[in-house]
């Protein structure tokens, strides 16, 4: 734990010293949130639109702030032989990966912490059961980070990181759109299997409330399929990661 | 280490090698590019598993006890693995938190930097350090917790002569205090100056191994001179075997001998008696460079 936190702090310090990255990470979400609040859609907004915007934002943030950032970080640190360096320190492999990936997770969390309230304020439509938004964020971090570890095995250079992250981004965003254009009760297992579809379903349940019933128990029942899909996806990706991940660019 | 074998796909990088370093000694592993040195070090450090063979480092199996080994062994990687955006002081503090998960006792950061003459660069971004300074920071990192065993993979590559001399002095101090060192280097003079024992690898095998004296004893000394073409050389039974290269009006002679002083005396007496001028006379004991070049040109195994 000490190793992971120390490494995460160092990664955040490195990120903060990269002015372009720091600008993209901090300023862009704030400006987007401010714009949304200052210029709310003027049409009569039905409830699902707020959920749809939130779901697609989660997909975009997971793809860009978490997955792309994490794949690039892993590939760059491997190219720099820093992953090897941390391995010879005796730190546990999971601690090294967690420390390297934690900044991406924090960026995602920070982006959502800014954007979700902005959506609620701008559209005057607060989420019905916010706990499922929190669950969606946690599962986005778990599945997105694991996907990033798998993808990093297939990129030899930092330039290649964007290429290998693209299919994940497509699954998140494409699956997200797919699951927003149907009624909440019509989301299928195929949609959930993209990852983006399951995250979207969680966000929609969190924002719109479950279709059957109104209480938290009804919500918990409704999120079951998405939860199962995302956990299964994460486990499959984790198994793949243990077989494919490379610490050394020579290997 | 006995019978170590490692492959990358179909390519067998290390083909059944034996190596042993005694406590407190420096073992130099030399070799041509692609000889398998770095792969061997990776196995010794627990960074990759062996495909076959038995490996023990400080009594530990590096593949299964990597973390326990990391607490007792320092490593200077071949590549200077450092984050450009941090400063040396920040990086060493991070290393202390990473290494041994904060359980090890490390030297203070400023003392570590002073030890490798980097105290004045403690707050400069690592990306702004010279190649030599980065290499010294690598060394400071490896020495952070005063390891019992130190792996040095080409530690003086890119250093200027002064920095290299300082590094040699530091390595000698470590040896004096009982640290065991496993060194790979392309600088033969470095192995000559520091090694208690050495192994020369070629194409995945240890071709020559033993103490420096043992290794050099497998080669004969060399006497070279130039004489006129019509000069008859001393009888073959008086000196070692000679090879001659004839040019227009003179011949270059090279004598290989196990007893340099004896053969030199014979030659000097012969030249004086016969009034022969030994031009460009050069006598030398066998050198590590000669051994190394022989290994490159032939792959015959030499018993230590």
pLDDT tens across B12-21, in order? 999 999 999 9
What Cα–Cα distance (Å) separates residue B49 from each residue in A80, A96, B44, B74, B76?
Answer: 22, 19, 9, 19, 19
Average pLDDT over residues A179-198: 92
Average pLDDT over residues A39-54: 71
Structure confidence at residue B104 as a pLDDT band (50, 70, 90): low
Residue B300 pLDDT greater than 50, yes or no: no
pLDDT tens across B132-173, in order? 889 899 999 999 888 999 999 988 887 888 888 888 998 999
The total number of residues shown for chain B amounts to 304
Q: Does B99 touch chain A (CB under 8 A)?
A: yes
Confidence (pLDDT) at B299: 55
Confidence (pLDDT) at B103: 62
Strands B26-31, B180-184: pairing is: parallel
Confidence (pLDDT) at A184: 87
Nearest CA in chain A to B75: A88
pTM, full prediction = 0.82
Lowest mean pLDDT among A73-77, B149-153, B224-228: B224-228
Confidence (pLDDT) at A201: 94
The DSSP result for B152-200, as a single string, is: EESTTTT--HHHHHHHHHHHHHHHHTT-EEEEE-S-HHHHHHH-SEEEE
Nearest to B221 by CA among B263, B164, B279, B276: B263
Confidence (pLDDT) at B129: 92
Structure confidence at residue A249 as a pLDDT band (50, 70, 90): confident
Confidence (pLDDT) at B245: 77
Q: Nearest 5°: phi and psi at B122? A: -60, -30
Residue B303 pLDDT greater than 50, yes or no: no
Higher pLDDT, B148 or A40: B148
Q: Does B128 touch chain A (CB under 8 A)?
A: no
Mutate to test the interface with B, among A88, A98, A158, A250 (most CBs of B within 10 A): A88
For residue B65, the Cα-to-chain-centroid distance in whole angstroms is: 27
Contacts of A84 in chain B (CB under 8 A): 47, 77, 79, 81
Confidence (pLDDT) at B114: 93
Contacts of A3 in chain B (CB under 8 A): 97-98, 101-102
Residue B55 pLDDT greater than 70, yes or no: yes
Lowest mean pLDDT among A46-50, A234-238, B80-84, B245-249: A46-50
pLDDT tens across A190-223, in order? 999 999 999 999 999 999 888 777 788 888 889 9
Confidence (pLDDT) at A22: 73
Confidence (pLDDT) at B258: 85
Cross-chain residue pair A90–B70, CB shorter than 8 Å: yes
Mean pLDDT of chain A: 88
Structure confidence at residue B292 as a pLDDT band (50, 70, 90): confident
Confidence (pLDDT) at B304: 39
Mutate to test the interface with A, among B9, B57, B98 (most CBs of A within 10 A): B98
The total of other beta-carbon atoms located within 10 Å of residue B123's CB is 9
Percent of chain A past pLDDT 70, that is, above it, reads 95
Lowest mean pLDDT among A171-175, B127-131, B273-277, B294-298: B294-298
Cross-chain residue pair A89–B90, CB shorter than 8 Å: no
HSE, CB side, 13 Å, CA atoms: give it for residue B222. 15
Confidence (pLDDT) at A161: 87
């Amino acid at each position: 734990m000490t190793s992971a936190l120390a490494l995460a702090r160092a990664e955040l310090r490195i990120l903060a010293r990269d002015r372009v990255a720091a600008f993209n990470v901090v300023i862009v979400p704030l400006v987007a949130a401010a714009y949304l609040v200052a210029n709310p859609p003027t049409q009569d907004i039905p409830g699902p639109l707020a959920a749809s915007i939130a779901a697609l934002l989660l997909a975009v943030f997971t793809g860009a702030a978490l997955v792309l950032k994490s794949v690039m970080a892993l590939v760059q640190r491997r190219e720099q032989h820093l992953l090897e360096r941390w391995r010879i320190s005796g730190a546990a492999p999971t601690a090294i990966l967690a420390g390297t990936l934690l900044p991406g997770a924090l960026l995602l969390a920070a982006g959502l912490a800014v954007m979700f309230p902005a959506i609620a304020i701008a559209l005057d439509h607060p989420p019905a059961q916010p706990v499922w938004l929190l669950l969606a964020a946690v599962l986005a971090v778990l599945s997105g980070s694991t996907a990033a570890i798998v993808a990093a095995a297939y990129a030899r250079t930092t330039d290649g990181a964007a290429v290998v992250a693209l299919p994940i981004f497509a699954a998140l965003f494409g699956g997200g759109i797919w699951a927003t254009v149907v009624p909440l009760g019509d989301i299928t297992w195929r949609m959930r299997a993209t990852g983006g579809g399951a995250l979207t379903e969680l966000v929609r349940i969190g924002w719109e409330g479950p279709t059957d019933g109104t209480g938290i128990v009804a919500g918990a029942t409704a999120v079951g399929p998405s939860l199962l899909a995302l956990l299964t996806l994460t486990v499959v990706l984790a198994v793949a990661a243990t077989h494919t991940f490379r610490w050394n660019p020579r290997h | 280490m006995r019978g170590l074998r490692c492959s990358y796909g179909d390519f067998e990088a290390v083909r059944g090698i034996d190596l042993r370093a005694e406590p407190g000694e420096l073992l130099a592993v030399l070799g041509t590019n692609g000889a398998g040195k770095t792969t061997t070090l990776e196995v010794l450090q627990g960074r990759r598993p062996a495909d076959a063979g038995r490996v023990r480092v400080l009594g530990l199996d590096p593949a299964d006890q990597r973390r326990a080994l990391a607490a007792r062994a320092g490593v200077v990687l071949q590549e200077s693995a450092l984050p450009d955006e941090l400063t040396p002081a920040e990086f060493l503090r991070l290393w202390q938190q990473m290494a041994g998960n904060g359980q090890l006792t490390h030297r203070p950061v400023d003392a570590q930097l002073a030890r490798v003459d980097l105290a004045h660069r403690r707050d400069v971004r690592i990306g702004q350090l010279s190649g030599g300074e980065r290499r010294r920071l690598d060394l400071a990192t490896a020495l952070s917790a005063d390891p019992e065993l130190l792996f040095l993979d080409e530690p003086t590559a890119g250093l200027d002569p002064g920095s290299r001399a300082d590094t040699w002095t530091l390595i000698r101090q470590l040896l004096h205090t009982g640290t065991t060192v496993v060194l790979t280097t392309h600088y033969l003079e470095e192995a000559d100056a520091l090694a208690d024992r050495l192994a020369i690898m070629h194409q995945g095998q240890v071709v020559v191994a033993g103490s420096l004296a043992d290794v050099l004893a497998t080669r004969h000394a060399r006497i070279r001179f130039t004489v006129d073409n019509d000069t008859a050389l001393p009888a073959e039974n008086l000196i070692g075997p000679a090879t001659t290269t004839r040019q227009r009006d003179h011949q270059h002679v090279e004598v290989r001998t196990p007893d340099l002083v004896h053969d030199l005396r014979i030659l000097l007496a012969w030249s004086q008696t016969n009034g022969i001028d030994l031009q460009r006379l050069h006598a030398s004991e066998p050198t590590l460079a000669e051994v190394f070049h022989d290994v490159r040109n032939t792959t015959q195994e030499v018993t230590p």
